[in-house]
Amino acid sequence: MHFDRELDVKGLNCPLPILRTKKALSDMSPGQVLHVLATDPGSLKDFQAFARQTGNELLSSAEVDRVFEYFLKRK
């Protein structure tokens, strides 16, 4: 999937992945896509709730070898 910016938050635990994602999205333009890499097992629920609460769109999420990958579209 095409993305405009990548954010690596591997090794960080809640709430840091969400806080760093929020900051990264605030520096992006509406419609741009952020690719996030995380290792926190609770991050899936966190990113789903974050998207729901902020209006940013969670385009996809996947897990490969204990690394969670998210694509978020800025509102």
Catalytic residues, by residue number, are 14
SS3 65: coil
- Inter-CA distances, 54 with 1, 59, 65, 71, 75, Å: 22, 14, 29, 15, 8
